[in-house]
A and B are shown apart, each in its own frame.
Chain A
Amino acid sequence: MTALSLNQRAALLSVILLIVGLCIWEVTIPAQQAAGELTEYERLTGGGTPKAGVPPPSKVIEKAWEQLSDPFYDAGPNDKGIGIQIGYSIYRVLSGYLLAALLAIPLGFLIGMSTIAYKALNPFIQVLRPISPLAWMPLALFIIQDSEQSAIFVIFICSIWPMLINTAFGVAGVRKDWVNVARTHELGSLRTAFIVILPAAAPTIVTGMRISIGIAWLVIVAAEMLVGGTGIGYYVWNEWNNLDLTSVIFSILMIGVVGMALDAMFGVLQRYVAYSE
């Protein structure tokens, strides 16, 4: 047997675990009796109505194939392709997230640079940060009067804190010697910010951005369950109301895949801004 690299062996193990897991899942789901095998009596008493059993993986894979082969169909408000639903969710997450970044990163810079700004704003941050983003929803709906924008607001408010705190932390922790390098070279404050502070704090800032996008993706599902209409969160809830558990499981998996992709993007960014001393 040829020697496999560590990564190849790990990949092989992953595939084996997947197959074994799926097989266990498949065989532990009791096969539902076909309606034809039921007696007249059983049929009359509703025995043929399938109890909402958990679907086996084969059904989920079938569903996934069906959905992914035509992800962007649009057959009315309650029947849209998974691609469209995910697209709506990503749009909301990115809108709220970018607004949050536009506020949090400059504000974090200010807090990190100035002790007085830190001390003045810290009490507000400490009170606002632990609030569950969904708790803002009623207020947002009342003030904004638009469910779409309220969802974006909820993403905005939950994305702000990790970015704000990490930016402040990163900026405050820039090594004094590097700031002195900027000072002895008479770099103005703008050039100091872009040549020294920003690159020095970038790994910490991007870590905050990565945490934020993760939280935003967690929150959007719950937010869309509340506001309804479109989005992957609404899709999950809608399929639950339809008692279509196959679609529910499929959409749960899709939420995981998209979340992973968003995280991976920031992983790339993180490697790009990383430096070693």
Chain B
Amino acid sequence: MTHPYLSVEQLTQRYPNGSGGEMTVFENASFGVEKGEFVVIIGHSGCGKSTIMSILAGLAESTEGVVIMDGAEVSGPSLDRGVVFQNYSLLPWLTTLKNVTFAVEARHPNWSKDQVLEHSKKHLEMVGLNGDVFNRKPSQLSGGMRQRVSIARAFAISPKLLLLDEPFGALDALTRGSIQDELLKVWAGTDQTVFMITHDIDEAILLADRILLMTNGPYARVAESVYITIPRPRNRTEIVEHPNYYAIRNHLVQFLGKRSKELAGPTGLVENRPETVHFDNTATIAKTKKSSVAV
């Protein structure tokens, strides 16, 4: 059996519950992410999405289980795994440009100053920032611009895996929309593997190749892996016309509204792999073809 590019194996996280016992956040969660794939994970608060993200980033350690990326076990943070947090990814005492250059310098210690500068500016321009913004401090930027800078920095160091922890959670709907477009545009030109947390179903459908659905905690697990069978390039006004769109969307809403609760609780299995869900209504719009294959 060949391993996927990123392989999460039997990941378990337990915390002491304060009264001598243990609280299991998630148990034996296993899933894979292929190279170049854009995977979004959705689940209710408390299911441990952010913990999984921290473990992937190397900022936290799991109680049990391993994460293998590109053939090596993940331990500790690394430039191979870039992270964009919801807030505070930027250092407020550095200008926009310096917030990117310090990262590029860390990634490419042998580069000349000019090379670093050119590379950083190129990535800032890719997310629609230019000239006068470069010398401003993060506090002088809008929330949307700050997240653009964070995204530019993440792409500038081209990590093997890019982790986005609800990057647009603090933004208003309109700004969020335009940055999602920006992110899609930047990502489309690379083979960047992305793993992202969100609470927003529409955002997930627009961006993802595949959505991982988590059951509620405690004893949460990744229960389903839903392929977004809508061709790229996508844009938010056209995808809603696609015959698969509402099938996928309804499935997600159903899952989060009802099934995430029904499926909750320990399974007792040594490995909880998600069930693959694949919608294809393009042939016959009237009939929903739903195939369930375990991978």
Chain A residues at the B interface, C-beta cutoff of 8 Å:
175, 177-178, 180-181, 183-187, 191, 195-196, 199-200, 202, 273, 275-277
Contact = CB atoms under 8 A, between A and B. Distances in A.
| Majority secondary structure of chain A interface residues (helix, strand, loop or mixed) | helix
Contact of B92 (A184, A191, A195, A276): A276
Contacts of B58: 183-184
Interface stretch (B8-16, B82-90, B179-187, B235-243): B82-90
Contacts, number: 63
Nearest to A273: B93
Contacts of A196: 91
Given A276-B137, A277-B88, 9 more contacts: A175-B88, A181-B91, A183-B59, A184-B79, A184-B82, A185-B102, A185-B107, A186-B77, A275-B93
A180 B102 contact: no
Q: Provide the main secondary structure of the chain B interface.
A: loop
B92 A275 contact: yes
A273 B93 CA distance: 8
Contacts of A184: 57-59, 77-79, 81-83
B103 interface: yes
Contact of A275 (B79, B88, B137, B157): B137
Contact of B103 (A185, A273, A276): A185
A113 to B, nearest CB: 18
B139 A180 contact: no
Given A184-B77, A185-B103, A186-B106, A277 B92 contact: yes
Given A185-B103, A195-B102, A276-B139, A180 B92 contact: no
A202 B94 CA distance: 13
Interface in B30-82: 57-59, 76-79, 81-82
A277 B94 CA distance: 11
B123 to A, nearest CB: 15
Contacts of B76: 183
Nearest to B106: A185
Nearest to A195: B102
A195 B59 CA distance: 19
Q: Which 4 pairs of residues, A with B, have the shortest CB-CB distance?
A: A177-B88, A275-B93, A276-B139, A183-B77
Contacts of B106: 185-187, 191
Contact of A177 (B78, B85, B102): B85
Contacts of B57: 180, 184
Contacts of A185: 79, 102-103, 106-107, 157
A180 B91 contact: no
Contacts of A183: 58-59, 76-77
A178 B88 CA distance: 7
A199 B95 CA distance: 13
Most buried by B among A178, A181, A191, A200: A181
Contact of A181 (B89, B93, B137, B139): B89
Contacts of B138: 277
A277 B139 CA distance: 6
Interface string B93-105: 1100000001100
B103 A180 contact: no
B69 to A, nearest CB: 14
B78 A186 contact: yes
A177 B87 contact: yes
A196 B99 CA distance: 11
Interface in B142-169: 157
A273 B94 CA distance: 11
7 contacts: A177-B88, A177-B89, A185-B102, A186-B106, A191-B106, A195-B91, A275-B92
B83 A199 contact: no
B55 to A, nearest CB: 13
Nearest to B102: A195
A18 B106 CA distance: 58
Contacts of A200: 91, 93
Q: Which of B78, B93, B103 has the most CB of A within 10 A?
A: B93
A265 to B, nearest CB: 21
Nearest to B82: A184
